Structure 1
Amino acid sequence: ALKYDKIMAGLYIHIPFCKSRCIYCGFYSTTATELIEEYTNAICKELELRKEYLHESVSTIYFGGGTPSLLSLDETARILNAIYIYNKVEDGCEITMECNPDDVTPGFAKRLAGQNVNRVSMGVQSFSDDILAFARRRHKSEQIRSAIENLREAGIKNISIDLMFGFPNETISQWNNDIEKAIKLNVEHISAYSLMYEEGTALYKMLDKGTIKECSDDTYLEMYNLLIDKLNDAGYEHYEISNFAKPGFRSRHNSSYWHNIPYLGVGAAAHSYNQESRQWNISNLKEYIRSIEHGIVPYEDEVLSTDSKFDDYIMTSLRTCEGIDINYIKENFSIEHYEYLRKESEPHIKNKLLTLSDDGRRIHLTRKGLFLSDGIMSDLMHV
């Protein structure tokens, strides 16, 4: 059997409601906000139905979406209450709520702090009103600063913002301006993602029709390098491909995904993982609610083979600054897996895309390798 650290677990609550859809969003979400009340009941019921899923105490809770900040005070309180009833929650648990800047009024911020939410992740994306309008974001750039001031006033000391780069026609100087404004906000954590064109999104349709053009790879690379340099200089640690934190402020919840920690995902389209299998709830809001009302969690699952576990470990660990622990591979997988990793990593080490740590115990991406990470991971994976 594989050896794991069994002392903690994560809990993810998916809130799929949005007032409007952003053009790039490929996540499962809906604008049918009239179903929020029924959905809240279903979430609480699913927490009861799945109270045996986690054998560890919960050390992180994450409300993601969608737009969790659309929940009322009462709805959030009921979900949190159900979490505490059906799970053992650690003292000092990291509780994160994703928010849109325009939802964060002084009253809303006080309410979050009053419910022990101690971390907020805010979808800023850009400080350019033109880009925000193009992406169909609801907020304006001036609302970002006031949202952060409101959270600080309420006593929330751990704030993360999301940025996005590589919009059609976005210039390096626009992106540089975004990074500088983000640094000035002095938040504890910054996540930054290159714009993705996912099938089924409004953005993909625009690309398909030829009304917009994708950024060149050279521009993406220049933007990513600029991001790393500026955030490193500002004292942020680049601890995962897309994530930067001030010392002591890594996202504990997201880190659990990259460090093989079990988690329970509750809600429509939510994923769960218990180190032996993966489960995912159906991506249909009405069917999800109906099924839960009948006492059945509607999910599919996949039992993980040793090869799948190996591939998962390669993919998640290589995303982090720690990289692949060679001893972990030797202890938990076969000699064949170890030899495969050694053979496949050699050409990437030669090409300076991967490097060995000084003690020879870890393999991680170099700065040059970061931008080619998908291809490198794929080469090192067994299946």
Structure 2
Amino acid sequence: MHLYLHIPFCKQACHYCDFHFSTSLDKKEEMVSAIVKEMAMQKDYLNASPLKSIYFGGGTPSLLTKGELARIFEAIHTQYSVDADAEITLEANPDDIDSKALATWKATGINRLSVGIQSFDGQQLKFMNRSHDAKQAENCIKQAQDAGFDNFSLDLIYGIPSESHEIWQQNLEKALAFDIKHLSAYCLTIEEKTVFGHRLKKKKMQPIDEELSAKQFEMLLSETEKWGLEQYEISNFSKPGFHAQHNTSYWFGEPYLGIGPSAHSFNGKQRQWNLANNALYIKHILSENKLPFEQENLSSTERANELIMTQLRTKWGLNVYQLEEFGLDLNAFEKSLLLFEEQGLVQNKSGRLTLSGKGKLQADYIASELFFD
């Protein structure tokens, strides 16, 4: 079982981000109190199963103070059993990383960092409205390594508008030269309710260049292979033994509990999600003693389609025999699958489906065509 905690605060809004957060830190102390209380209210959701992973996401969890982190960890260990070798990840921004913060995180039990570098180029960082600069992007990696954080991941973004691929090549070389154990690389997307989304609507920004993004994805595959990182999911690469246990649990449909505003939970058959409003989340929990979530029961079709969407993205692939457990008619699925095999987009080895290199560029399309109606 797995635990996710959403910390909904940021210093400033990145122009591409559509996650739930607030740039006002006024309610941070109350939010921590509400998160602590929600953990007690939700303690039976995971049926007392030990936690294999804990993930602090956001927002920007690295904004939490030493005292706030201590309160949250005390609540975790009070309400849940935690495996001795549990992966405990904190998302961190480069400008929040210093020797004091690193020592605090290590002392609280955090054993993995996910650092939002996004780019080592100053102009690209300004374009995305990131809160750190190019120098901080490089310095924070060395600081984390010196503090003993061997298990950490870097995030990079490709497909950023550019006249050439030179900056992306430099970003990859800089990141990989640090001998990192994990890299997450995402194509820039323009979501409707973001600054970039508004700019695109007003024609102050061009749509993402798909040809440029596809070429940079190919460069990503080439460079990570050269440096000994395995692509174990379309956007994630790691050295052996360093793949993200928490994220992998999502892709394989393992139960998890989400705490905090907008956080999602899944118990195998039902999905629920908390209200994405800081003030109302705090009010419901602290003042009204209510859990502010909506819930849905997943049909066999929905559960099967989720497996197709998530497992097909991984190196382990989709187990066709697992789909048979849902009692669905596989005829349409098998016809679409055969077509993708003939096109060289999907490989079928004894009922285990994986995407080819060419197929990975069309992963979402292939999954949607394999979906059950």
- In the superposition, the TM-score normalised over structure 2's length comes to 0.97
Give the CA deviation at 1:187.
1.3
Give the CA deviation at 1:217.
1.6
Write out per-residue CA displacement over residues 194-223 of structure 1, whole angstroms, 9 at most, x where no aligned residue. 001000100111122222223422111100
Give the match for residue 5 of structure 1.
none
Give the match for residue 341 of structure 2.
349
Alpha-carbon distance in structure 1 between the residues aligned to 2:201 and 2:161: 13
Give the match for residue 18 of structure 2.
26
One of 53, 69, 74 as aligned partner of 1:76: 69
Alpha-carbon distance in structure 1 between the residues aligned to 2:198 and 2:328: 47
Q: Which amino acid aligns with 1:62?
A: Y
Q: Which amino acid aligns with 2:337?
A: S
One of 126, 130, 141 as aligned partner of 2:123: 130
Moved more, 137-146 or 52-61: 137-146
Q: Which amino acid aligns with 1:54?
A: L
Give the match for residue 291 of structure 2.
297
Give the match for residue 362 of structure 2.
372
CA contact (8 A) 1:169 1:215 kept: no
Give the CA deviation at 1:171.
2.4
Q: Which amino acid aligns with 1:23?
A: H
CA contact (8 A) 2:51 2:80 kept: yes
Alpha-carbon distance in structure 1 between the residues aligned to 2:183 and 2:21: 23
Q: Secondary structure at the match of 2:3?
A: strand
Q: Which runs of 5+ in 1 are unaligned?
A: 1-8
Moved over 3 A (4+): none
CA contact (8 A) 1:166 1:219 kept: yes
Find out whether 1:307 has 2:297 as its counterpart: no
Alpha-carbon distance in structure 2 between the residues aligned to 1:248 and 1:67: 26
Write out per-residue CA displacement over residues 85-120 of structure 1, whole angstroms, 9 at most, x where no aligned residue. 111111111000000001001110111111110000
- Residue correspondences, number: 371
Give the match for residue 252 of structure 1.
245
CA contact (8 A) 1:168 1:212 kept: no
Give the match for residue 224 of structure 2.
231
CA contact (8 A) 1:110 1:151 kept: no
CA contact (8 A) 2:90 2:112 kept: yes
Alignment of 1:134-153 (within 5 A): 134-153=127-146
Give the CA deviation at 1:335.
5.5
Find out whether 1:209 has 2:199 as its counterpart: no
Q: Which amino acid aligns with 2:298?
A: L
- In the superposition, the TM-score normalised over structure 1's length comes to 0.95
Give the match for residue 4 of structure 1.
none
Moved more, 318-327 or 70-79: 318-327
Q: Which amino acid aligns with 1:33?
A: L
Give the match for residue 15 of structure 1.
7
Alpha carbons of structure 1 residues 363 and 125: separation in structure 2 relative to 1, 3 Å: same
Give the match for residue 329 of structure 1.
323
CA contact (8 A) 2:189 2:208 kept: no
CA contact (8 A) 1:14 1:266 kept: yes
